Amino acid sequence: MISNKQQERNDPYEIILSYGRVIRKQNVHLRVNIDIYRFSPDTLLGNRVVYIMETLILTNMSTNHLSCCECNRKSEIFKYLSKDELALVDKHRTEVAYKPGEIIVKQGSPVTHVISFSSGLAKVSIEGHNQKNLILRFLTPTLFIGGPGLYVDRLHHFSVTALESSRVCFIDFSVFKTLIRQNCDFADAFIKYISKEGIFDYNRFISLTQKHMHGRIADALIYLDKEVFCNKESGIRISRNDLAEFTGMSADSAIRILKQMSLDGIIETQGRTLRILNIDELKKLSQIG
């Protein structure tokens, strides 16, 4: 809620905002559900916030954050940047922490920044009709969030939601675009990255459209075990609803298939945690489809 006193201020001020969060700067508090922008008092109309889509040069929220040169949690594509170029990125980025369930990117919102995923776990999903969503992939540390809207319509065509406590770096898109134009190796790395994403999506479409439910669940568990949780002994931590949205089926169907796999000795379930007991049998289900 915005107070009248705040609305009546005449001096411009900047507020750093993130989805569903309150961040304080210059003694101003707001709670909104939009992206990061620059505001002035004339944009505050009653309880609505009309945003000006300008690029906001962000500074680190904490002085103890590592610089981009020192950080070992940045996306692999940034290794092609020189120290001066990394310093430029560092000057025009901010690191934001998210709690589980908080929205990092909202489908349909304007693209003002590219995002490097630093820590935690998040899901990338497409919001469909009647509140039916499809999870495209899961994000783990050092992965990069860009998307086709960067160079097309400047809109996000997916949503990103934190599943665990996560940290991400927002990098000014205009700076990113400048680096793409002046550093060929960096541009090649970026093109290769988004190309791999496209190939992954193509394989996912084959799984979703041409395999039965057991095959889709098998594909999902193999991917989660190898690529997301990296064969950890702690197992695969995922909700049944997220697994269902990742495999294009109802939660009831996903639960039924998991129960059958558990009875067959292929997996072990304990709450939200799944452990693969027989990877060969799981791969066979994947191949049969």
Give the length of the chain: 289
Give the model confidence (pLDDT) of 118-138 as tens digits. 889 999 999 888 778 999 999
Is it the case that residue 224 has pLDDT exceeding 60?
Answer: yes
Give the model confidence (pLDDT) of 86-111 as tens digits. 889 888 888 899 999 999 999 999 98
Is it the case that residue 261 has pLDDT exceeding 50?
Answer: yes
Say what the pLDDT of residue 70 is. Answer: 67
% pLDDT > 90, the chain = 48
Is it the case that residue 194 has pLDDT exceeding 70?
Answer: yes
Write out the CATH class of domain 211-288: mainly alpha
The whole-number average pLDDT for the span 22-51 is 36
Is it the case that residue 27 has pLDDT exceeding 90?
Answer: no
Say what the pLDDT of residue 274 is. Answer: 92
Q: Which residue has the higher pLDDT, 48 or 100?
A: 100
Give the Cα-Cα-Cα angle 52, 56, 60 (nearest 5 degrees): 145
Alpha-carbon Rg for the chain in angstroms: 21
Average pLDDT of the chain is: 78
Say what the pLDDT of residue 202 is. Answer: 92
Is it the case that residue 221 has pLDDT exceeding 90?
Answer: yes
* Residue 69's pLDDT band (cuts 50, 70, 90): low
Say what the pLDDT of residue 250 is. Answer: 93
What lies within 8 Å, CB to CB, of 227 at 6+ separation is: 138, 140
10 Å Cβ neighbour count for 227? 13
CA 166 to CA 121: how far, in whole Å?
A: 6
Helical axes 251-263 vs 240-247, angle rounded to 10°: 100
Give the Cα-Cα-Cα angle 193, 128, 137 (nearest 5 degrees): 30
Say what the pLDDT of residue 148 is. Answer: 79
CB 72 within 8 A of CB 142: no
The whole-number average pLDDT for the span 180-184 is 94
**Residue ranges per structural domain of the chain:** 1-54, 76-189, 211-288
Q: For the purposes of burial, counting CB atoms within 10 Å of the CB of 37, is it exposed (0-12), middle (13-18) or buried (19 or more)?
A: buried
Say what the pLDDT of residue 36 is. Answer: 41
Q: Which CATH number fits domain 76-189: 3.40.640.10, 3.40.50.970, 2.60.120.10, 3.40.50.450?
A: 2.60.120.10
Give the model confidence (pLDDT) of 236-252 as tens digits. 999 999 999 999 999 99
The whole-number average pLDDT for the span 18-23 is 38
Is it the case that residue 21 has pLDDT exceeding 90?
Answer: no
Question: 217: closest CA among 276, 263, 130, 139?
Answer: 276
Say what the pLDDT of residue 145 is. Answer: 84
